[in-house]
A and B are shown apart, each in its own frame.
Chain A
Amino acid sequence: MSSERTPPLSETLDPPVWDNMPLPIEKLDFEEELMTIAPERTDTSVRRARTATETVERLRVEDISVFYGSKPAVKNVSLSINQGEVLALIGPSGCGKTTLLRTLNRLTELTPNASHSGRILLDGEDTDEIVDTELRRRVSMVFQQPNPFPMSIFDNVGFALREQSRKRPHRRDLQPQVDKALQRAGLYEEVRTDYDRSALRLSGGQQQRLCIARAIAQEPEILLMDEPCSALDPRSTAVIEDLIVQLRQDLAIVIVTHNLQQARRIADRVAFMYLGDLVELGETEQVFTDPEQEQTREYIAGVFG
């Protein structure tokens, strides 16, 4: 090892150069597919490519506060989530970003002492008025740990599609939807020959893409992601980040992340939360280069976190 201190890559390269570097992953089949679908990716400084079309608001959060017992976890947060964009929730641990995310599909209701005030509108409809199972089919979620169900790959993806009607659909009726979901999740080429294999035999990155396929199989309007890459290696993370950027075209994505660089790479807008407050919400580049709030600046600069 050389005696001089080797500066980390991030110091030697400007961010744009860093982002233009080829991804440290092998060329997979679907990678090429991605390139053809989103060729802009390579010429922009970040992985995402702006969709400059007019914004369609899908989810509107109006003055939401969430309490665990009497302790507020989220305080008076208002924001909107638009079709075709990735909104990243960032902030230090315990700032309420995961709670906010889980409130969007009413998963917080599973916590016995949780309650909320304010309202959330999904396409103008109060989510409290929608039956929870119906809401969660429209606002789907991917978790931190890849957690496939203990069943075959096919059954995992078909899970949400089954049992929505009284009559259980046949496998051949589900096949096109399962194929499509796996294609969108970039897993199709890897698993198409062994649909009947246990999903637990897949690698961690594959399992997480399976969970994404499972979540998008029923064509939700909104996809919630709770630190989907934090349990994965860098290679799988890069694959999933690409996937998120691509999926954004059809739905709105809200992603909680601890990884600021990830937020910068994939998000269109960033919301910074601190101690339950929504401190700042803005375009990704603006929040990272010219934040309006001092707290945001300090967090992004690594003063606390």
Chain B
Amino acid sequence: MASANPLAAPQLSPSRRRRRGRRAPVRSWRARDQALFVIAWTAGAGLCVCAAALVIFFAVQGIQYLHPDLLVTRPSVAATQAMSGGILDPILGTVLLAAIGLLIAAPLGVVSAIWVVEYGRPRWLSRIVESAVEIIAGTPDIVLAIFGLALFELGVFSPFSLAEPGGAFGRSFLNAGIIVSAVALPSVYTATRNGLIATPRQLRESSYALGKTRIATIRRVVLPAVRRDVATGATLGLGRIIGDTAIVVLLLGATLRNQPASNTPFIGLLRGTGSTLTSYVFNNSPAGDGNAPDKAYAAAAVLLLLVVLLNWGVGRIGRIGGPLIHEPSRRLGA
């Protein structure tokens, strides 16, 4: 007999563990298989090269141009790069815009996913919600931006930005945040919905069988079960907000500094215009009119670092806080 106890783990010596069965050498494969083999390797390696080039380029640029004092200095209008200040305002603008966008997108996405999966009646209405999210996910952000501008220039929305004769200015942190939430919403919605679908029905039934109502079940059992999906979706959405440019240029004004609309501490800032790292890079790139490419590279390096950190964070989310009912999916339709 091979081993006395079939359930015992087989004793592996290092040399035995490394042993592999013989495989036919690639040279002897059929031509078509060989071609696919080469294509697959080339594609994979090519992607690695692209990512490496990106990261290395901005690492070099960042080390070259990014000085710590840039991060804490406000930008200023100047003829020369040396005088044009730092990127404090764009960094704060990115943080503020991301916060507003997520504060709107996360609850909205979670609540609509819960409604569609847990209630979903009438059927036609839940199908409409599904399609609506798909449409939002598929809409180019510049289209969302110009729609937002048309909307928020209406006089009704003058509390959101500056009132102007015959309407509103339309550009503010609040307005940009509202529209930018549409960019993050599909990520949150899709991740939450997939998590809810993956949650076993029995878990809900166990709660009902203990005499719980549906709403108590959702709040106390289902939501904790998908909390990591929500976190994953929110983080991915955050990455999309941070990377968005079109909405910032059109709806935030992309002013060099954050310009509060009034002296009211926080409200003034919300109603005022400003910039983010993306709009700063856009304006200061050789294509823009700021003409401070060194600063643009520095800002781009910070932006890339932020997004890489966020993606790394998404990967970590799946591992913190103990075991899961199910694995959150990172493959999102949106």
Which one, A105, A134, A145, A200, contacts B209 given CB within 8 A? A105
Interface residue tally for chain A (C-beta within 8 Å): 31
Which one, B208, B224, B227, B322, contacts A149 given CB within 8 A? B224
Is A303 interfacial (CB 8 A cutoff)?
no
Is B211 interfacial (CB 8 A cutoff)?
yes
Is A288 interfacial (CB 8 A cutoff)?
no
Is B52 interfacial (CB 8 A cutoff)?
no
Is A97 interfacial (CB 8 A cutoff)?
no
Given A143-B206, A159-B210: A150 in contact with B200 (beta carbons within 8 A): no
- Distance in angstroms from A106 CB to nearest chain B CB is 9
What CA separation (Å) do A159 and B202 show in the bound complex? Answer: 16
Is A209 interfacial (CB 8 A cutoff)?
no
Which one, B200, B212, B322, contacts A160 given CB within 8 A? B212
Given A163-B216, A198-B322, A200-B322: A147 in contact with B200 (beta carbons within 8 A): yes
In the complex the two chains form, is A140's CB within 8 Å of B323's CB? no
In the complex the two chains form, is B202's CB within 8 Å of A214's CB? no
A160: chain B residues at CB < 8 Å are 210-212
> What 1/0 mask marks residues of chain B from 306 to 334 whose CB sits below 8 Å from any chain A CB?
00000000000000001111000000000
In the complex the two chains form, is B209's CB within 8 Å of A150's CB? no
Is A28 interfacial (CB 8 A cutoff)?
no
Is A1 interfacial (CB 8 A cutoff)?
yes
- Distance in angstroms from A24 CB to nearest chain B CB is 14
B210: chain A residues at CB < 8 Å are 136-137, 140-141, 159-160, 214-215, 218
- Distance in angstroms from A121 CB to nearest chain B CB is 19
A110: chain B residues at CB < 8 Å are 205, 208
In the complex the two chains form, is B203's CB within 8 Å of A107's CB? no
- Distance in angstroms from B206 CB to nearest chain A CB is 5
Interface residue tally for chain B (C-beta within 8 Å): 23
Q: List CB contacts (< 8 Å) of A119-150 with chain B.
A: 132-137, 140-141, 143-145, 147, 149-150
In the complex the two chains form, is A134's CB within 8 Å of B206's CB? no
- Distance in angstroms from B129 CB to nearest chain A CB is 20
What CA separation (Å) do A132 and B207 show in the bound complex? Answer: 12
In the complex the two chains form, is A140's CB within 8 Å of B209's CB? yes
Is A253 interfacial (CB 8 A cutoff)?
no
What CA separation (Å) do A135 and B323 show in the bound complex? Answer: 33
Is A252 interfacial (CB 8 A cutoff)?
no
A134: chain B residues at CB < 8 Å are 211
B209: chain A residues at CB < 8 Å are 105, 107, 136, 140-141, 143, 215, 224
- Distance in angstroms from B304 CB to nearest chain A CB is 35
Is B67 interfacial (CB 8 A cutoff)?
no
What CA separation (Å) do A215 and B209 show in the bound complex? Answer: 8
What CA separation (Å) do A137 and B324 show in the bound complex? Answer: 27
- Distance in angstroms from B327 CB to nearest chain A CB is 13
Q: List CB contacts (< 8 Å) of B191-225 with chain A.
A: 200, 202-203, 205-213, 216, 220-221, 224-225
In the complex the two chains form, is A147's CB within 8 Å of B203's CB? yes
Which one, B202, B205, B216, B325, contacts A150 given CB within 8 A? B325
A144: chain B residues at CB < 8 Å are 202
In the complex the two chains form, is A149's CB within 8 Å of B220's CB? yes
B208: chain A residues at CB < 8 Å are 107, 110, 136
B225 nearest in chain A by CB position: A150
Given A107-B205, A149-B220: A137 in contact with B211 (beta carbons within 8 A): yes
- Distance in angstroms from B225 CB to nearest chain A CB is 5
A201: chain B residues at CB < 8 Å are 322-323
Is A211 interfacial (CB 8 A cutoff)?
yes
Query: Contact residues of A with B, CB < 8 Å?
Result: 1, 105, 107, 110, 132-137, 140-141, 143-145, 147, 149-151, 159-160, 163-164, 198, 200-201, 211, 214-215, 218, 224
Listed by A's residue number, 23 A-B pairs whose Cβ atoms lie within 8 Å are A107-B208, A107-B209, A132-B211, A133-B211, A133-B213, A134-B211, A136-B210, A136-B212, A137-B211, A140-B211, A141-B210, A143-B206, A147-B200, A149-B207, A149-B220, A149-B221, A150-B224, A150-B324, A151-B220, A159-B207, A163-B212, A201-B322, A201-B323
